[in-house]
Structure 1
Amino acid sequence: MTTPRPTVRVVLVDDHALVRHGLAQLLDGADDIEVVGQAADGEAAMAVLAETRPDVVVMDLQMPGVDGVTATRRVVADHPGTQVLVLTSYSDAERIVAALDAGAVGYLLKDADPDDVIEGVRAVSRGESPIHPRAARSLLTARRSSPTPLELTPRETEVLSLVRAGMANKQIARRLGISERTVKSHLTSTFARIGVQDRTQAAVWAERHGVGDRPIS
């Protein structure tokens, strides 16, 4: 007898009612996902989150009033137990980096296969970081053609240095005085920027590029 998966509680944030309705039908069709709230913009989303306390927010980026990047930053600050999965039409590097820097832990595009959206919600609830292949390619292209805007931040450099040193997320969080969720967010952004898929590749990249050659004080 298999143990049923815990239900993932989801809030949808998108300014198009038709999109929200379609997503709600799609996600509610999964036996382990429940849509517990919807909002048409970032400001309304904060009120819905305060009432529902979801596990995952599926966040659009381009919305009137409070946009998705600003809303993501507020979700991360005010609801540390909630993960943000961006679902948008935009695949340009600037928006992707802005969303990941704000604290989103996943980035999917609206032309993704429906099953990929469902699995993306499950993945972020497990602490994973799904990124649409076209979005990842966009980041890689931008990094090659214009590396300066996509340089690692000081905090990302610190986290990557500790990954190179073999530390787990919990150890990194304790060392830097931040939450494990923040560590995961930094790693998601860093992996996308440097074009790697996992911690081993990131550690190799860090060694090749001299990240972590000097110990963090």
Structure 2
Amino acid sequence: MNSAPVAPLRIIVADDQASVREGLVLLLGALPDLDVVAAAADGQQALDLAAQHRPDAILLDLHMPVLDGIETTRRLVAEQPQVAIVVLTTYLDDTSVLEALRAGARSYLTKDADRTDIARALHAAAGGLTVFDPRVHATLMAAAEPRPAAAAETAREAALPDGLTQREAEILALIAQGLTNPEIAGRLYLSGHTIKTHINRIFAKTGSRDRAAAINYAHRHHLV
């Protein structure tokens, strides 16, 4: 007796770059085990479409306008926990990877993954499993390695005001030195988006409305 055919996995593709988004829709839509039910150009649109279509999984870029991938992931997990989230991005720094996973993403791939890898990750995520690009796995392993100075760094962070982390204090000091976001990103070997995320947190923690206020805070607390 033949078993009933398995319904294709219903997915949404979310990427702000039209060429990437449309390419993914064409590539993945051609696979018999995937059904691309919608495509979103930003995080808010992804949330709205997910609420409308109730997909099995969503393929999500991290760096999108209106609502970035990290916050979109958090909201999807809170509002529609049944939707499996697979991140597909160009960014491999440990902050981006860890933030996405902490927010609730199940898998993390880079944009040079082929459609077979992407399809496998989507199916695995929908089944509750996790798939990483090999380089993502290496990034996670490096981030997890114990550092000799970890205890000292923890002590330094405990002494920083308003819950600032050591990285945030470092970025704040660079802001106070007059460096722009791209210059800070280059100095610390981080993506521009990661720097922007850190700066938003710095502003929130220090109560700063702009860079001038943050610089004033840095001088008042002798962080420069």
After TM superposition, the score normalised by the length of structure 1 is 0.65
Q: Following superposition, which runs of at least 4 residues in structure 1 exceed 4 angstroms of deviation? A: 145-148
Q: What's the CA shift for 1:6?
A: 2.3
Aligned position for 2:112: 111
Cα deviation per residue 1:90-137 (whole Å; 9 max; x = unaligned)?
111110100000000111110112211111111111111111110010
Q: CA deviation at 1:145?
A: 6.1
Alignment of 1:19 with 2:4, yes or no, is no
Q: Map 1:5-16 onto structure 2 (within 5 A).
A: 5-16=6-17
Map of 1:36-51 to 2, 5 A cutoff? 36-51=37-52
1:28 aligned partner: 29
Is residue 2:89 matched to residue 1:96?
A: no
Q: Could you tell me which amino acid in structure 1 is paired with residue 5 of structure 2?
A: P
Query: In structure 2, what is the equivalent of residue 131 of structure 1?
Result: 132
145 and 62 in structure 1: CA distance in 2 versus 1, 3 angstrom threshold: farther
Q: CA deviation at 1:146?
A: 4.6
- Greater relative contact order (Cα < 8 A, sep 6+): 1
Superposed CA RMSD = 2.0
Distance in 2, matches of 1:16 and 1:50, equals 22
The alpha carbon displacement at 1:5 in A equals 2.4
Task: Give deviations 1:163-217, integer Å, cap 9, x for gaps.
Answer: xxxxxxxxxxxxxxxxxxxxxxxxxxxxxxxxxxxxxxxxxxxxxxxxxxxxxxx
CA deviation after TM superposition for structure 1 residue 142, in Å:
2.2
Aligned AA (1:105): R
Instruction: Give the aligned residue type for 2:69.
Output: G
What does residue 73 of structure 1 align with? 74
2:7 alignment partner AA: P
Partner-residue secondary structure (3-state), 1:90:
coil
Query: Matched residues in 1 for 2:99 and 2:76: separation?
Result: 15
Alignment size in residue pairs: 150
The alpha-carbon distance between structure 1 residues 111 and 146, as it changes in their structure 2 partners (threshold 3 A), is farther
Q: CA separation in 2, counterparts of 1:41 and 1:2?
A: 39
What is the aligned partner in structure 1 of residue 59 from structure 2? 58
**Structure 1 residue 30, shift from structure 2 partner:** 1.2
Partners of 1:18 and 1:102 in 2: CA distance: 27
Alpha-carbon deviation of 1:2?
A: 5.5
Q: Which position in structure 1 is the counterpart of 2:174?
A: none
- Hey, what does 1:175 align to over in structure 2? none
Q: Distance in 1 between matches of 2:147 and 2:89?
A: 23
Structure 1 residue identity aligned to 2:126: S
Q: Percent identity?
A: 40
Tell me what 1:122 maps to: 123
Unaligned runs of 5+ in 1: 152-217
Deviation at 1:4, TM superposition (A): 2.5
Per-residue CA deviation, residues 21-65 of structure 1 (Å, 9 max, x unaligned), is 111111111112100011111111111111111010101001122
Shift of 1:20: 1.0
TM-score normalised to structure 2 length: 0.63
Task: Give the structure with higher Rg (CA).
Answer: 2
